[in-house]
Amino acid sequence: MLYYLFEYLDKQFNIPGAGVFQYISFRALGATVLSLFIAATYGKWIINFLRRQQVGESIRDLGLEGQMEKSGTPTMGGFIILASLLIPVLLFAKLSNVYIVLLIITAVWTGMIGFIDDYLKKFKNNKEGLHGRFKIVGQVGLGLIVGLTLSFNDHVKIRIYDQPLLSSSLGEVQRYRDIVHPMVTTLPFSKNNEFDYRTLLFGWLPEEYTWVIYTIIAIFIITAVSNGANITDGIDGLAAGISGIIALTLGVLAYLSGNTKFSQYLNIMYIPNSGELVIFCAAFVGACVGFLWYNAYPAQVFMGDTGSLMLGGVIAVVALAIRKELMIPILCGVFLSELVSVIMQVSYFKYTKKKFGEGRRILLMSPLHHHYQKKGIHEAKIVTRFWVVGIILAILTLATLKLR
């Protein structure tokens, strides 16, 4: 909103300094500062409100050190993240940008799925919360919206520049062509750095129906990353910290992909208008860091599904928007390992129970962070080490821009 206000003031009244809102870097900085301020200032008020509503976490005794001490800690703290994310985005971003609109919808949509789950657990005494199949239906619905929007919206495009033409009167002029409704994405470690979804089924599916494959992939990615973040949210500060690292990396990738000079220098896909996602990622990082003020060990509040499902959903959609979804296995390696650890544990337990009559386990306990807790490692150390792994994976993801 502020972008349009200051654009109007700059054009109509030529007010000094109003033009600074045209710069993505300035608006990203403003979004970060404001999100941190909202989370740090109003987070305490939200926590006290949740306490008054008696929205405390019910803890099952799983034999983990210090676990039962957390009983009664307010949950549904994801509202702190949502507020400190959406308010700066609404103020500093271009609200006409298709990617911003898509991400606002994503944040609200996944936040509502998580809220319904938390609400059923806390106020309806339903220990299971929202049934898993209804969560999946909600995630599939969002995947359809995202996949179809990125497949058919005319504002979604990539731009390919040809060799520059030299002109004495105009200087250096570049020719380019826009590819609307692109079915390509970034393929890490490959020389040309691109993968065309139209080649996925070796021509079996007509090109005009490639959007079907792309939408299915979008649904799978959103569901996987959202659930991965949800499972990772098990000990103080883990999900918020890893999400902040991932969002910062995606912000860098969005800036490079939305900048003509950097995209040409790095020989990566240039995506017009995707630079606006830097503002969203900046607010996202600020919201995660601000939430850590209260969620770091020992946590004063838990984010609940309201926050964790939203974090994963937003990360997935940002990656899809900037055509970096194939980097998710690297960048979101912590989420992936947590998700796979649960799948392996449950599958192996069921298999051995059917075969031997007694279920056996691969890990001491799943998800993976609980395995390390069972080994006697303090949760604060586990979180720090997972953050270090997240930073290494983020660096490796950025390194794929040059490692081909």
Q: Over 70: is that where the pLDDT of 20 sits?
A: yes
| pLDDT number for residue 96 | 93
Lowest mean pLDDT among 2-6, 353-357, 393-397: 2-6
Domain ranges of the chain: 27-53+78-163+176-324
Kindly list the distances between the CA atom of residue 345 and the CA atoms of 223, 294, 342, 354, in Å, as whole numbers in the listed order. 20, 32, 5, 14
3-state secondary structure of 314: helix
Better-scored residue on pLDDT, 278 or 165 = 278
Nearest C-alpha neighbor of 289 from the set 336, 247, 338: 247
User: CB within 8 A of 246, min separation 6: which ones?
Assistant: 315, 331, 332, 390, 394
The structure tokens listed for 29 are 């900085």
Contact between 246 and 256 (Cβ < 8 Å) = no
Nearest C-alpha neighbor of 278 from the set 31, 111, 36: 31
The type of residue at 158 is I
- Which DSSP symbol is given to 128? T
| pLDDT number for residue 166 | 47
> Is 178 annotated for ligand binding?
no
Nearest C-alpha neighbor of 286 from the set 3, 26, 37, 45: 37
Mean pLDDT calculated for residue range 208-224: 94
| pLDDT number for residue 99 | 97
Contact between 193 and 269 (Cβ < 8 Å) = yes
d(CA 208, CA 374): 52
Contact between 258 and 278 (Cβ < 8 Å) = yes
Please give the backbone phi and psi of residue 359, each rounded to the nearest 5 degrees, phi first. -75, 135
Exposed (0-12), middle (13-18) or buried (19+): which is 293, by Cβ within 10 Å?
middle
The structure tokens listed for 249 are 């990396």
Q: Give, to the nearest 10 degrees, the angle between helix 2-13 and helix 78-92.
A: 20
Mean pLDDT calculated for residue range 377-401: 96
Nearest C-alpha neighbor of 269 from the set 162, 168, 170, 159: 159
Mean pLDDT rounded to a whole number for the chain: 90
Give kind and range of the element (H or E) at residue 195.
strand 194-196
Q: Over 90: is that where the pLDDT of 203 sits?
A: no
Cis amide prior to 182 (ω within 30 degrees): no
The structure tokens listed for 310 are 């939203």
Lowest mean pLDDT among 2-11, 273-282, 370-379: 2-11
The structure tokens listed for 321 are 């928007």
The type of residue at 382 is I
pLDDT band of 371, cuts 50, 70, 90: very high
The structure tokens listed for 214 are 């792309």
| pLDDT number for residue 63 | 61
- Name residue 167's beta-bridge partners: 171
pTM for the full model?
Answer: 0.93
Better-scored residue on pLDDT, 94 or 121 = 94
Lowest mean pLDDT among 54-63, 195-204, 306-315, 317-326: 54-63
> Is 154 annotated for ligand binding?
no
pLDDT band of 168, cuts 50, 70, 90: very low
Contact between 192 and 269 (Cβ < 8 Å) = no
**H-only helix segments in 210-303:** 210-232, 238-257, 260-266, 277-295
Residue 163 Ramachandran class (φ > 0 left, ψ -120 to 50 alpha, else beta): beta
The type of residue at 194 is E
User: CB within 8 A of 381, min separation 6: which ones?
Assistant: none
pLDDT digits (tens, 9 = 90+) for 58-76: 656 566 666 666 777 888 8
Kindly list the distances between the CA atom of residue 366 and the CA atoms of 223, 338, 340, 362, 397, in Å, as whole numbers in the listed order. 19, 8, 10, 9, 27
d(CA 211, CA 200): 12
Q: Over 70: is that where the pLDDT of 294 sits?
A: yes
Would you state the torsion angle of the CA atoms of residues 137, 140, 145, 147, taken in this order, to the nearest 10 degrees? Answer: -170
| pLDDT number for residue 244 | 97
Percent of the chain at pLDDT > 70 equals: 93
Give kind and range of the element (H or E) at residue 178.
strand 171-180
The type of residue at 321 is A
| pLDDT number for residue 161 | 77
| pLDDT number for residue 172 | 54
Better-scored residue on pLDDT, 319 or 9 = 319
Neighbours of 273 (CB within 10 A): 17
| pLDDT number for residue 11 | 79
